[in-house]
Amino acid sequence: MNDLDVLTGIRHDTPAISARARHQGRNRLLDEIGGSRPRASRWRLARRPMLLTGAAAAITAVLVAFQVAGTPAKNSTAEAATVLTLAASAVTITPAIAPRSDQFIYLDVVHVTGGMTQHVQTWTSVDGSRPGLIRSAGFLGNSSTVSPRPDPAHGLRQAPYAVVAKLPTDPQALLRALYADPYVEEQMQHNGISREVAVWSMLRDLVETAPGAQKAAMFKAAALIPGITHVEHATDAAGRSGEAVGLEDPRLGSIQFIFDTHTHAFLGERVMDPGSTTSVQFNDAVQHTGVADKPGVVPSN
């Protein structure tokens, strides 16, 4: 045997890359790609820009958090629609006091990806007339950023509370409005996703802070989207367990809304790894919503 034969024999049986490592590597690359194109990244679609442009920059070994998760049953669309209908009926339609136009909608969400946590608080002007605030803390670092006034050209996703409050409360009419939204168009074009996935994904953003009547209508409208599936067990980023309704995109994975099984309250969201029913890419939990007089002030109620 010559030197090269011996050398080639060493570690010749090194195992090939595991499917999981390959998949994680690919997702990290997609993060990076998404972060390089802020206007049309998949991350804007997948989740909040504040959190995720940061995620794209973070070169850390990301371990996908494996969670006990349910398997979507076959033919579970009917069940999924039921869960959404129950969620709609559980929404409190009349708030004690409607927010004033000079106030701010407060939202506090915990995001978990790869076992790492980012806590994001946002204050958004009720009528869109003044800048808001985004405070973010966690594994991506801490930041406090003034958010610009929403641009109507970006569609309903950036729409202030006062605009969302004028959306139709009839589910069919609401769904038509959502299907025709510029943000939906933009996402379809840039990410090549279906109109259904784009609408579903935008709903994820809207339901968290929408006025009660619209929020209920959103759940009812979501129930009309073809292809939704029911997931029996799902856990939000705060560890609260419930059930979920998901819509699958072949590239983004299943995008799921998590609801409390008993109260039917909306808890949070998760996005699964593409093709997986058990491996979670992103998980979040709505911790608190409210109305604040000023950005930076956490409402007590």
Partner 1 sequence: MTAAANDWMDPSVIQVSDATVIEESRADPERFAEIYDRHADVIHAYLARRVGTIVADDLSSDTFLVAFRLRGRYDVDRPDARPWLYGIATNLLRRHQRTERASYRALARTGVDPLAGRDHADDVVLRVTAETDARAVAAALARLTVKERDVLLLFAWAGLAYEQIAEALDIPVGTVRSRLNRGRERLRQALNTTAMDSGERS
> What residues make contact with partner 1 under the rule CB under 8 A?
1-4, 6-11, 13-18, 21-22, 24-26, 28-30, 32-33, 36-37, 42, 59, 61, 191-194, 250-251
- Closer CB to partner 1, 18 or 94, in the complex: 18
- Closer CB to partner 1, 38 or 141, in the complex: 38
Q: Checking phi first, is residue 234 left (phi over 0); if not, alpha (psi -120 to 50) or beta?
A: beta
- Closer CB to partner 1, 40 or 78, in the complex: 40
CB of 128 to partner 1, least distance (A): 31
CB of 43 to partner 1, least distance (A): 12
- Give dist(CA 51, CA 238) in Å, integer: 17
Q: Please, are residues 82 and 256 in contact by the beta-carbon 8 Å criterion? A: no
Please list, in sequence order, all residues whose beta carbon lies within 8 angstroms of the beta carbon of residue 19, skipping any fewer than 6 positions away.
none
- Closer CB to partner 1, 50 or 193, in the complex: 193
CB of 80 to partner 1, least distance (A): 23
Per-residue b or e along 167-189, where b marks 16 or more CB atoms closer than 10 Å to that residue's CB: bbbebeebbeebeebebbebbbe
Q: Which two tokens stand for residue 141?
A: 């670092």
CB of 54 to partner 1, least distance (A): 15
Handedness of CA 270, 222, 82, 78 (dihedral sign): negative
- Closer CB to partner 1, 29 or 146, in the complex: 29
Please list, in sequence order, all residues whose beta carbon lies within 8 angstroms of the beta carbon of residue 6, skipping any fewer than 6 positions away.
none
CB of 162 to partner 1, least distance (A): 34
- The single residue listed with the structure tokens 């006091």 is 97
